[in-house]
Amino acid sequence: MDALAPSPSLTVPALRALTVRMATPRGFCAGVDRAIQIVERAIERFGAPVYVRHEIVHNKHVVDRLKGLGAVFVKDLDECPDDRPVVFSAHGVPKSVPATARARQLLFLDATCPLVSKVHVEAERHHAQGKHILLIGHAGHPEVVGTLGQLPEGAISLIETVEDAATVQRPGTMPLAYATQTTLSLDDTAEILAVLKARFPELPDPHKEDICYATTNRQEAVKQLADGSDLVLVVGSRNSSNSVRLVEVALRAGARDARLIDDATQIDWSWFDGVQVVGLTAGASAPEPLVQSVVSAIQARFAVTLANDPGEPETVTFKLPRALTA
């Protein structure tokens, strides 16, 4: 019997080269980090369950992890028992919510982002000065619902589009002011403001910019990323306004394609056909491990060169409520 001939060596096809550019900054902002810490520390201090009114931040993975720790997410306070703590989400709540919590003597912790709270304070100041407020934002978004709920009905007109800005009417002879949702597209907001100011030249600027530093920084970073990237991937959930805006900004800034994904499992690899440079970023409520899992998934299929886009790292932090630090 002849000896077995040696098997020919198998040739493994070389992986196609691909550059992955990483945006700076990306992912968690200070307000999101603070909100998540509030839930985590409340569970540590008071034990499970801790109730959370609405999603603490708009990210499925974050919410699921907190559920595993003992957080219970509810739509309204009437789903919360009297003897357990409740946390208000980072997006802010109407004034009626803490008022109801106090009436029930609930222990509540307010995780509203301080930059959203600033918009609430500005709205109250304008109202106290007798001004009607034009709020630029998206109907139904929790942040907009919270801002509208700071003042009596009719005190604020919601402006969602350029068309709204062209048709909104001043109530009588009331002076006007405006405020914006913190997670809007800078460019879209500028277009709306241009229409409003053309119609109402006396319209003043806000005391400070309402669109938050994190939204601004991530949009500027994705504009740089889009310049020279064939495909931009944005890690974030579909109900995250700032993540959705990053996709829109990338496309407007010149990316051939841009996609929003919750995680690596949502990648359609046909998107990579003909692609040489991929830009990768994450919305302000998306944790960095999700970004790294996307990088790992890409590295398993391509010969990847990683490049970090230049950008200023963020150093902003917000204090936790005294009830969790005392």
How long is the chain? 326
CA distance 43 to 140: 29
**Domain segments of the chain: what residues?**
17-28+213-308, 31-113, 114-199
CA distance 42 to 36: 10
pLDDT tens per residue across all 326 residues of the chain: 455 555 555 665 789 999 999 999 999 999 999 999 999 999 999 999 999 999 999 999 999 999 999 999 999 999 999 999 999 999 999 999 999 999 999 999 999 999 999 999 999 999 999 999 999 999 999 999 999 999 999 999 999 999 999 999 999 999 999 999 999 988 889 999 999 999 999 887 655 567 899 999 999 999 999 999 999 999 999 999 999 999 999 999 999 999 999 999 999 999 999 999 999 999 999 999 999 999 999 999 999 999 999 988 899 999 999 999 87
Q: Give CB contacts under 8 A, 24+ apart, made by 103-111.
A: 104/77, 106/77, 106/80, 106/82, 107/46, 107/323, 109/38, 109/42, 109/85, 109/321, 109/323, 109/324, 110/321, 111/34, 111/35, 111/38, 111/39, 111/56, 111/87
Catalytic center residues:
143
17-28+213-308 against 114-199: fold identical:
yes
SS (H, E, C) 17-59: EEEEEECCCCCCCHHHHHHHHHHHHHHHHHCCCEEEECCCCCC
CA distance 4 to 2: 6
**DSSP one-letter code for 94:** -
- The owner of tokens 């405020």 is 179
- Sorted by sequence, the CB contacts under 8 Å of residue 299 that are 6+ apart come out as none
| CATH node for 17-28+213-308 | 3.40.1010.20
| CATH node for 114-199 | 3.40.1010.20
Of the options 3.40.50.880, 3.10.20.600, 3.10.450.50, 3.40.50.11270, the CATH number for the domain spanning 31-113: 3.40.50.11270
* Entry pTM: 0.91
Contact between 39 and 52 under an 8 Å Cβ cutoff? The reply is yes
